[in-house]
Copies of this chain bind each other. A is one copy, B any other.
Amino acid sequence: MSRSSWRSDADPFAFLVARGPVAELTSATSWLQTMLDVEAAIAAAQAATGEIPGEAAATIAAACRVERIDVVAVEASAEQGGVPVIGLVEQLRIAVGSTAAEFVHRGATSQDIVDTAAMAITTRAAAVVGEQLTDAARSVDELAGAYGAAPMIGRTLGQFALPTTFAGVAGRWRRGLGEASAALGDLGASLPVQLGGPVGDAASYGARAADVAAGVAERLRLAVPDGPWSSVRTPIARIAGAWGMVGTVVGDVATQLVALMASDVGELSEGADGAGGSSSMAHKRNPVAAIAARAAAMQLPGLIATLLHAAAGHDFERATGSWHAEWPALNTMLRAGGSAVDWLATSLERVVVDVDRMAANLKVAEAARRR
């Protein structure tokens, strides 16, 4: 049997940086469906305020399914126009049919659709990754419950320092995972819809623009902002901040797992069957999941820098490149962060604690100290 397809031919390293549920949330299909959800929510909110007929909104809602849209045409349009929305709206109007077509995307602009979809996708990613962090914290709780009292040598600047217990290590991990999870919870509760219209003043949505915004937010479970943020990108900065917290916690815990799993230390190991082999050395057992968690987490600071650089350079009412630059950086960052957490949770599930080795190392350290 021979097949020539990788999970995604476009991403040879998906196994490393697109593991876990966030990968699907951030796929092209997910983005297209979410943008359609935004179009449907706008139509529904406008029907509720009486701006468009309820029947039109229902027709639009029914058409807002990615299966009903010619996505190849949408992509071709994106390759021409540099944005996926123009083609999406064209294809949605075709799917909707002639009667309701005029009510599609009413008052809206490309940025409203992309920005609001980005907030919806990020909110979902925050929920999913937050749960994974909670799972990881539970694994740490279990380890701490079973082995917290085990004495071990503390190490600072790489040197034997003073005795401590595994509870000290696990406690720091636990608090960090809890804080990261909480940061994602706060994020998920705060991301706002964008309904600025063509020039970011919401005027195109008419006198009841605020009600439309509230209606869209309710339907998509997003927050209602005080007004458009089309060219002052505070939600992007907030996302970067929360994902930076995720990367920091995963990076630290994974770095410490890797350190404690080193052969020279040997106090922890990843006890998975089948994983961690070597192409040249059959006897080796590598802490693969912790290493992969580190590698995935290391993607974040640079992506966050890109996202912040882009978010900070918006000119006039819609930016000449900075807005577009946010998209791939955001999407890749969400994926890498989610993947890092997934690998970390995997490593924590696999952890085997060697209290004898802890005791032995402690003895060595104490002997060295007395010398």
Contacts and interface: CB of A to CB of B under 8 A. Distances in A.
Interface stretch (A41-49, A50-58, A72-80): A72-80
Given A225-B175, A226-B175, A241-B242, A251 B201 contact: no
B171 A227 contact: yes
Contacts of A298: 306, 309-310, 312, 321-322, 325
Contacts of A328: 11, 13, 16-17, 299, 336
Given A9-B28, A109-B280, A256-B315, 11 more contacts: A5-B72, A12-B28, A157-B320, A158-B291, A161-B317, A172-B230, A172-B231, A176-B229, A237-B241, A287-B320, A303-B303
A11 to B, nearest CB: 5
Nearest to A33: B4
A263 B368 contact: yes
A98 B81 CA distance: 54
Interface in A307-350: 307-325, 327-329, 331-332, 336
B156 A316 contact: yes
Given A10-B11, A26-B12, A67 B264 contact: no
A215 to B, nearest CB: 20
A245 B241 contact: yes
A149 interface: no
Interface in A292-309: 292-309
A66 to B, nearest CB: 6
A240 to B, nearest CB: 5
Contacts of A75: 6-7, 15
Interface string A356-371: 0000010001001100
B284 A78 contact: no
Contact of A200 (B82, B168, B176, B292): B168
A198 interface: yes
Interface residues of A, number: 176
A89 B325 CA distance: 38
A199 B10 contact: no
Given A11-B28, A241-B244, A316-B256, A16 B327 contact: yes
Closest 9 interchain pairs by CB? A241-B241, A251-B312, A154-B199, A294-B321, A302-B306, A168-B201, A176-B232, A8-B10, A6-B28
A201 B308 contact: no
Contacts of A279: 83, 85-86, 89, 105, 108-110, 113
A247 interface: yes
